[in-house]
A = this chain, B = another copy of it.
Amino acid sequence: MNLTLKDIAQAMGVSVTTVSKALKDYKDISPETKTRIRAYTEKVNFRPNAHASFLRTQKTRLIGLVLPRLKHDFFNEITESIICYAASHDYKVIVLCSEESYEKEKSQIKELLQLNVDGIFISVAKNTNDYTHLKQVIKNNTPLILFDRTVKLVPSLQVVNDDFEAGFMATEHLIKQGCKKIVHLRGDLIPQISIDRFFGYKKALEKHNIPFKKELVTICSENTFEEGYKGVFNLIKKFPDVDGLFAITDLVAIGAMGAFKELGYQIPKDVAIIGYSNWLISSLITPKLSTIEQNGNKMGKQVMQSFLDLQNTDGEMATSKYQRLIIPSRLIPRTSSMKTTELL
């Protein structure tokens, strides 16, 4: 049985307000009274009830975090960053996993609203192309922040990597290493991140007067090792003279690297390879994989900071307009792409 503030007040012969203020360290309560009340609440192991607190403040200090996957280095890093940063501001995080299902995502959002969370952070599932559930969050005046896999059609804060710039940077790096026939193992057609990285790739080719050939682009929709591996085997039949490869993520790049090795290509001499997102594994394999840093830690902090900023402004207004915050990308050149070393 949990004691209430009223029980404590009665037992000590003071008002409920006095107990409440004493526990919150208000200045208009004398130090003696505070000490006396705290000693008693400690003794009876009194814990202020979170639900009573909610009924008073209408704040739950809970945040809902919806991710398409959890077993994923980048989302994992974002989650850690959000949870730790939230904790330091006295917020707790309910983590949900849509498992890349729009239906699950939709019902999870509904359930989070039922729980009266103070904010919802989401990276959408791959096949999400109806955004009513997200607009419902805004209608409910619950702060909504999209990150990484965002949706331009939703009028809310969106924290993203600069995927276009990243695709451009990776491809231009290969070109500067002397590559002229560059494969792109891209992601699925719908997600904006996958589109933007692809456009970055095209833009870099264009800038350097290398004709774009759609046959050199293969879709790896699941972003897996196996897709990278098979993708290269298929491409090489037609184009044995490819000399560069930019993959949508490191795991796909590592799969591709495995295939090239098996086919007797030397990396980076015959083919230079670069991935994206700097997974732990990328600096530990041989040759070390060049990549673009995707800073999950920074992104998580930015998401949480944006939420905190909303609390200090008129939340309702601030959440209902489209605003894009960009986390800068950074090239991490390693052995897998360094045909020349002069540039480093």
Contacts and interface: CB of A to CB of B under 8 A. Distances in A.
A192 interface: no
B97 A80 contact: yes
Interface stretch (A12-20, A43-51, A179-187, A200-208): A43-51
B95 A79 contact: yes
Interface string A86-97: 010000111111
- Of the candidates A48, A99, A110, A284, the one having the most CB atoms from chain B within 10 angstroms of its own CB is A284
A76 B69 CA distance: 11
B71 A83 contact: no
Interface in A74-130: 76-77, 79-80, 83-84, 87, 92-97, 99, 104, 108, 110-111, 113-116
A285 interface: yes
A116 B51 CA distance: 8
Number of chain A interface residues as a range:
35 or more
A115 B77 CA distance: 26
A254 interface: yes
A215 to B, nearest CB: 28
Contact of A284 (B49, B99, B285): B285
B80 A50 contact: no
Nearest to A54: B51
A101 B94 CA distance: 21
Interface of A: 45, 47-51, 54-55, 62, 69-71, 76-77, 79-80, 83-84, 87, 92-97, 99, 104, 108, 110-111, 113-116, 136, 225, 254, 258, 280-281, 284-286
29 contacts: A45-B136, A49-B114, A50-B114, A50-B115, A50-B116, A51-B51, A51-B116, A62-B94, A70-B83, A71-B76, A71-B77, A71-B80, A76-B76, A80-B97, A83-B95, A83-B96, A84-B97, A87-B96, A87-B104, A87-B108, A93-B94, A94-B94, A95-B95, A225-B284, A258-B284, A281-B281, A281-B285, A285-B285, A285-B286
